[in-house]
Amino acid sequence: MTTSIPVFDADSHLAEVPDLWTSRLPMSKWGEDVPHVEYDDRLKRDRWVIGGRKLTSVANWAVAGWNEFPPEHPPTVEDADPGAFEPGPRIERMDEYGIYCQALYPNLLAFSHHAFMQIKDPELQIQCIRAYNDHLVEFASIDPKRFVLLAALPFWNVEESVKEIDRCAEIGHHGILFIAKPHKMGLPRISDEHWAPIFDATQDKGWSVNFHTGFADFSESEFKAMLSRHADRRDYARLSAFSMLNNAETIAEVIMSGLCKRYPEVKFVSVESGFGWIPAFVESMDWQWLNSGAAKAHPDYELPSVYFKRQVLGMFWFEHEAVRRIMDLYPDNLMFETDFPHPTSLSPGPASAARYPHETIAAVFEGIPEDLARKVLWENAAKLYKLEAPALV
């Protein structure tokens, strides 16, 4: 049944190629401040250097099909699945996996955004963001209908963020990637009027605000420990499992602070955070809203569950039974993802517990009505990002 449905992958990652910034930004002007790659003789890896900080190795997140358990990863770009970096191989992998269209998320601009903020030259900071967004357009040019581009923003500069939203709307982007917990970095909370120009611009464009769970609040020490090649696998599993709940705080804030009420046309997307826990959390928000007296103090507000159903979307990938049991509760709020090519992705390999995406889809949607399957696998995303179904479907 699902072979007649175009499958949208709501969360995949495009690994940054080593020359992404050095090929676009003049080293003659900014020198070593331009994000670049250096060989680390101790680790025997090429590593990103941004804002004077040595960060993850270039193929750190490109582990699809790799033959060792994470956080081990391919030592070089050449050892990794080329679909993690290059458009042609990515299309081939999507075809193999049964995926028609993918949303593309970054690695460095999500997991290492602190480093970009520490670049000393404000102009270079902005140009780094622009270069990444341009790279997305170039990558997708092989077949623009098969990719959804989400604009990264220099979120620490609201005025420049609005300019980048306007620019990216002209070059083919579909929404914004935004920081979920700016207050963890000393900036105003997401519900503060400080961010109003960004949300105004987003609503004017008919775009969504996408919160990736990796763009959250791991402490730097936790993050380093998690990625260490000597990490205790119990800790790695614990932090990976817990990361699915990182967006709970943000979902509660956008709903209960009044952000959804102020921006009724904006959709807020919780990315790579799973969905099985959502019903209990939404029920808890409703109960606490009533029990705390918030409903009486704010009689012009709807129940949190109303805002959730109207404006918040989430997604699942490896979950099975939990999603099957609750799918009919949130038919308009649920999407599918693969997380390719990350450690938890639906990318089978010698050191992966994953099944192929098409196998996962077949198992999850067995016995599910076709109209519901079509909503989750395609229609919700098509409506959110204004996509057209392929002609033969």
Those residues whose C-beta lies under 8 Å from the C-beta of residue 149, and which sit 6 or more positions away, are 104, 133, 136, 137, 140, 168, 172, 173, 174
Listed range (85-94, 160-169, 240-249, 265-274) with the worst mean pLDDT:
240-249
Contact predicate 340/93, CB 8 Å: yes
Predicted local confidence at residue 111, as pLDDT = 85
Q: Is the pLDDT of residue 96 over 90?
A: yes
Q: Tokens at residue 285, please?
A: 């928000």
Q: pLDDT band for position 264 (50/70/90)?
A: very high
Q: What is the pLDDT of residues 107-153, one digit of tens each?
A: 998 888 888 998 999 999 999 999 999 999 999 999 999 999 999 99
Which has more confidence, 70 or 202? 202
Q: 52: phi > 0 → left, psi -120 to 50 → alpha, else beta; which?
A: left
Predicted local confidence at residue 240, as pLDDT = 83
Q: Is the pLDDT of residue 385 over 90?
A: yes
Q: What is the pLDDT of residues 156-188, one digit of tens each?
A: 999 999 999 999 999 999 999 999 999 988 999
The distance of Cα 108 from the centroid of its chain, to the nearest Å, equals: 12
| Average pLDDT value over all residues in the chain | 93
Q: Is the pLDDT of residue 65 over 80?
A: yes
Give dist(CA 126, CA 317) in Å, integer.
33
Q: What is the pLDDT of residues 209-237, one digit of tens each?
A: 999 987 765 555 555 656 666 667 888 88
Give dist(CA 20, CA 7) in Å, integer.
29
27 backbone dihedrals φ, ψ, rounded to 5°: -65, -25
Q: Which domains does the chain have, with CATH numbers?
A: 2-14+84-385 (3.20.20.140)
Q: Is the pLDDT of residue 90 over 60?
A: yes
Predicted local confidence at residue 52, as pLDDT = 85
pTM above 0.75, yes or no: yes
Which has more confidence, 229 or 247? 247
